[in-house]
Structure 1
């Protein structure tokens, strides 16, 4: 059993990575000052930049990225686990990855995760996004063992793919992470129900730090960062789109309790669909 205080940092990242890193640092310090030992920032902490040429000029490698270097320093100074929800990183092949980072209390990098599912959608009122035109999708789910519990990774649009979270829960993840930059349109429609569903169906905590408000590049995000328990109860929520911090106590013993009450992970079975040669996996085997 482990009990710890977690924080979700809500931001309104703009087009200047240095300014975003400074805002990130101030909010992380605020969270740690309120007792958080696990702090998560939202998707694209380092910058929301729609213009292709501007992205190419500003985004760099992990070794040179200002958010990554700031996070390493902060984690070590504050003695916390610090999860950069994601930031844009230039890979060795020159392509961009939408990459999450986890740093330990000594500043050491413990895990990275590249967002798997690209937000390629056409919404109402002419809102359209093609994330795959800018970023290379990841190929691997990631689960990290920490002294405070086992952590499963996801980023934003991944939230709509329950099989990712199920695979992490079957691998023992007790806390599922969903840093995001949900659009206002999709957030108002689906954010709360999807976050709570992922918690309920996997008997796990969900920590979801979000971007919020009107950004410099013209997009508008929903905010409403939250922390949800394994029974689907919202423990903490920013009921707005302004920058800030939400905190909640996480007791990982509640994961085992929820999974014992409704043992759907254990009861899952493989099955076939008539006329389809595939076997659909209900278990981790």
Structure 2
């Protein structure tokens, strides 16, 4: 009988700002602590390296991936600290330079990039709080789902607003996902209303571990984000949760560690066989 301890995931909650160098230094410190605490893989939040709603000001920092220094910097950190790393996401230009993409990278402990994912669903909303966000004005949505093998299991990729589209997570499961990353920069109002509910629902309906590293606090560009990074098991139980973030500065982070038991997904799917029931019902229609 295998009694090896479950591998540990480290969720890095940040208050990323408008200076990528400061954000990279924060990530480096967080990864050093994650490695010291025995984590196998670390997860960053959405827009971990640059969070700036002023699109004119951010232009100087954003380039095509082939020209950007950011992926290489994270690859070097992963290798130096001996960790697998999920980058959360970063803003990059499309290959033709005409639009931006919100892109995640999965980086192995040897520094190699194992997967990329461009956020599919654009955050175009007008909230009851009065906030208006039009992500599609600058960003192009991705067109492909991504699942990649990692030491934590087969990892499905998504970003923030994708959380509200359960059909994406069903597709990730159909491609073998056992763990799902959902890096985010949720607003405070939507976070208070929906963050915990939606994340637990995605865990339960997919029988996957959910690892959601979040932005949290008051940012240099004036926005406030919800925080509460969460690790959730395939039965919907919260394994670990970070504090909200409060008045954290750009140089702060909160590290949350959670075990990812590889057998938990199989147990949940055996107890409630949603895949089998769905196939039977589809055959009847």
TM-score (norm 1): 0.92
Deviation at 1:266, TM superposition (A): 2.1
Deviation at 1:146, TM superposition (A): 2.4
CA distance in 2, matches of 1:55, 1:135: 13
CA distance in 1, matches of 2:129, 2:109: 45
Instruction: Give the equivalent residue in structure 2 for 1:23.
Output: 26
CA distance in 1, matches of 2:276, 2:77: 39
1:148 matched to 2:158? The reply is no
Q: Structure 1: which 5+ residue stretches go unaligned?
A: 272-281
Deviation at 1:26, TM superposition (A): 1.0
Per the alignment, in what secondary structure is the counterpart of residue 45 of structure 1? coil
Residue from 266, 275, 283 that aligns with 1:265: 275
CA distance in 1, matches of 2:189, 2:243: 16
Contact 2:40 2:151 in 1 (8 A): no
Deviation at 1:270, TM superposition (A): 8.2
1:191 matched to 2:195? The reply is yes
Instruction: Give the equivalent residue in structure 2 for 1:224.
Output: 228
Structure 1 residues 76-117: Cα deviation after superposition (integer angstroms, max 9, x where no partner): 112211000100011211121100001001100000000000
Contact 1:63 1:69 in 2 (8 A): no
Contact 1:25 1:70 in 2 (8 A): no
Residue from 132, 137, 145 that aligns with 1:128: 132
Instruction: Give the equivalent residue in structure 2 for 1:119.
Output: 123
Structure 1 residues 208-252: Cα deviation after superposition (integer angstroms, max 9, x where no partner): 000011111111100000100000000000032252110011111
CA distance in 2, matches of 1:80, 1:132: 33
TM-score (norm 2): 0.92
Instruction: Give the equivalent residue in structure 2 for 1:4.
Output: 7
Matched residues, number: 273
Deviation at 1:65, TM superposition (A): 3.1
CA distance in 2, matches of 1:262, 1:150: 20
Computed over aligned residues only, the root mean square deviation of the Cα atoms, in angstroms, reads 1.6
Structure 1 residues 118-150: Cα deviation after superposition (integer angstroms, max 9, x where no partner): 000000232100000111100001000224310
Residue from 76, 80, 83 that aligns with 2:83: 80
Structure 1 residues 166-208: Cα deviation after superposition (integer angstroms, max 9, x where no partner): 1111221010110000000100110001110000000010000
Instruction: Give the equivalent residue in structure 1 for 2:168.
Output: 164
Contact 2:31 2:81 in 1 (8 A): no
Per the alignment, in what secondary structure is the counterpart of residue 235 of structure 1? strand
Contact 1:45 1:67 in 2 (8 A): no
Q: Structure 2: which 5+ residue stretches go unaligned?
A: none
Higher mean alpha-carbon deviation, 87-96 vs 99-108, is at 87-96
CA distance in 2, matches of 1:67, 1:57: 13
Instruction: Give the equivalent residue in structure 1 for 2:47.
Output: 44
